[in-house]
Amino acid sequence: MNNTSNNPKITVVTVVYNAVKTIEQTIKSVLNQNYKNIEYIIIDGSSTDGTLDIIKKYESEILFISEPDNGIYDAMNKGIKIAKGEWIYFIGSDDILFNANVLSTFAEYLYEDFDIFSGYVYYVNEYSKLQYIYGNNIENSVEDDCRKFTIKAHHQGMIVKTSVMKKHLFDKNYYIAADYKWLLDVWFSKRYRIKKTKDILAYFSDNGVSRLELRSRLKEQNIVIREINERYSQNIRIENEIFTFLKMKLKETLLAKFIKNKIRKEIIHECDWDFCRWCRNEK
């Protein structure tokens, strides 16, 4: 299918290492899209648990590389470098696209004069199977003469021009916060146009590395902020890592979860996919 302004090729990239229990759901959610001008790339970090066997079942429909890498962002950069689509989207190896129509829905935006389209994701709790909507808040505010930069926009809620990603690869010096740095760079460079939409792109598992390694994430984010402050002459507030860590742990108590769930209106996960591990109880 040829590219047109209303039918751009979208490159979807999944990076994976040892995700045998979830990777097939991710793959199916991409290959079952009714939007067909898709290039699907999977970057596998030499998995040893059977993940590669699953990927090979679909090798006629995807492009995959399986080799050792230097972490998540190194693998993501590999996908960016070989991407041929006009737009690029990352979907995690334990996440699934919202439904079969989602890329068709976003394709309707992609002819507009923007560089990044930011939608929402649903966070899904792996244990309770509750979900809540997340994303689309990027803002500056000033508190006590310090600028506070708030990001509640998820990279799996974003479709980005591939040309932008090729110019701004992820910084491999960061283990867990390179996507955070990428977004701050894009925001403060003021070169790129971001459009927020109300559409949902994906269901996102809350069992990812950024949640499991919270202290490492907080530490790296502060390093990022110092770098951004220096580069762009900003005054973004540095978070107290210990205080922020304890505050976030407090939010995970049963009482805090109960209150928060009432506020953010968590609901039982239910989707249209017949292969979903959350609402179809597949193992």
Beta-strand ranges (E) seen in 2-62 are 10-16, 38-44
Helix (H, G, I), strand (E, B) or coil at 173: coil
CB atoms within 10 A of CB 77: 22
Q: How far apart are the first and last CA of the chain?
A: 36
How many residues would you count in the chain?
Answer: 283
Q: What is the pTM of this model?
A: 0.87
* Predicted pLDDT of residue 207: 75
pLDDT at 283: 40
Q: Is 5 a member of any domain?
A: no
Identify whether 276 is part of a domain.
no
- Residue 282 in any domain: the answer is no
Tell me how many domains the chain contains: 1
Tokens 């923007």 appear where? 114
Query: Is 88 inside a domain boundary?
Result: yes
User: Given this model, what pLDDT does residue 246 score?
Assistant: 58
Residue 47 included in any domain: yes
- Domain assignment present for 1: no
pLDDT tens digit sequence for 149-207: 666 678 889 999 999 999 999 999 999 899 989 988 988 888 999 998 999 999 999 87
Domain that residue 79 falls in: 10-268
CATH number for 60: 3.90.550.10
Q: Give a yes or no: residue 253 inside a domain.
A: yes
173 in any annotated domain: yes
1-38 pLDDT tens trace: 334 456 899 999 999 999 999 999 999 999 999 999 99
Phi, psi of 88 (to 5 degrees): -135, 145
